[in-house]
Chains A and B, each alone.
Chain A
Amino acid sequence: QITLKESGPTLVKPTQTLTLTCTFSGFSLSTSDVGVAWIRQPPGKALEWLALIYWNDDNQYSPSLRNRLTITKDTSKNQVVLTMTNMDPVDTGTYYCAHTGGWTPDYWGQGSLVTVSS
C-alpha cells in the first residue's frame, strides 16, 4: 500500500532554511503521471498548496512562495525534498507531503509540525 512520511526539524530560527524530506513507499516516482505534492497548514487555518514534482521532473510552485521554494526528487531513495529559505514565524505550521496519481493528492503523510521561533 502507499505510505508517505515527512521528516525534518521541528524548530527553526527566523531567516534559516527549512529542509523537509518525504520518504514514501508503495509507488515509484519514475512511473508516468505520478507526482508528490507539498501542502502546509498553519495552526487553526486552511490548507495551502506549496509545490509539486512529477515523474518527469516537471515541477510547479505556489507563485507567492516561488522564490523561496525548491522541490527535488531522488527516485532511487523514494524521497522528495522541499527546501524553503528565509523562514519566518508566519511559516509555522504542519507540512504534509502527498502522492498524486493523475491530478489529485490522494494519499497523504501524517504531517510534520514546524515551528519558526528564535
Chain B
Amino acid sequence: EIVLTQSPGTLSLSPGERATLSCRASQSVGGNYLAWYQQKPGQAPRLLIYDASNRAAGIPARFGGSGSGTDFTLTISRLEPEDFAVYYCHQCATSPLTFGGGTKVEMK
C-alpha cells in the first residue's frame, strides 16, 4: 500500500501570501497519477489537480501542481479568502488507492 504523508499539518497564512503544500509517497506513484482536492466544512471534496500537474475544469490558475515519483507539491500562488480549507492528496495509480492525511490552510 502506498502511504501518502502530507506536510505541514497546518499552514497559517494571510490572504495574498503563497501556500506550498507537500505530499510524499512511500513508493513511486506510477504514471504520476496523483490528485489534489480541496474540502471546506460540510462540503464534498473538490478536485483541483489531476495527474500531478493538470488543473481540473474551472480551477483558477493560482492553483498549481508539480512533482513526480514520490514527491509532489500543491502551490497556491496568492491566497484568496475562499482558499482557506483542508487539502488532500490522493494516489490513484496502485490499488489500494490511498489519501494523505490532509493539510489545513488557516487564516493567520
> What residues make up the interface of A, taking CB atoms closer than 8 Å to B?
37, 39, 46-49, 52, 60-63, 96, 100, 103-106, 108-111
Contact = CB atoms under 8 A, between A and B. Distances in A.
A108 B99 CA distance: 15
Contact of A104 (B1, B46, B51): B51
B99 A104 contact: no
Contacts of B39: 47
A7 to B, nearest CB: 15
A110 B33 CA distance: 24
Given A106-B50, A106-B56, A49 B96 contact: yes
Interface in B1-60: 1, 31, 33, 35, 37, 39, 44-47, 50-51, 56
Nearest to A106: B47
Interface in B54-99: 56, 88, 90, 92-93, 95-99
Contact of A46 (B33, B35, B46, B100): B100
Interface of B is mostly: loop
Contacts of B37: 47
Chain B interface extent, by class:
20 to 34
Contacts of A110: 44
Contact of B1 (A47, A52, A63, A103): A63
A70 B90 CA distance: 22
The residue in A37, A46, A100, A109 that gathers the most chain B C-beta atoms within 10 A of its C-beta is A46
Given A46-B101, A103-B31, A109-B44, 15 more contacts: A46-B102, A47-B88, A49-B96, A49-B97, A62-B96, A63-B96, A96-B44, A103-B33, A103-B92, A103-B93, A104-B33, A104-B50, A104-B92, A105-B92, A108-B45
A63 B35 CA distance: 21
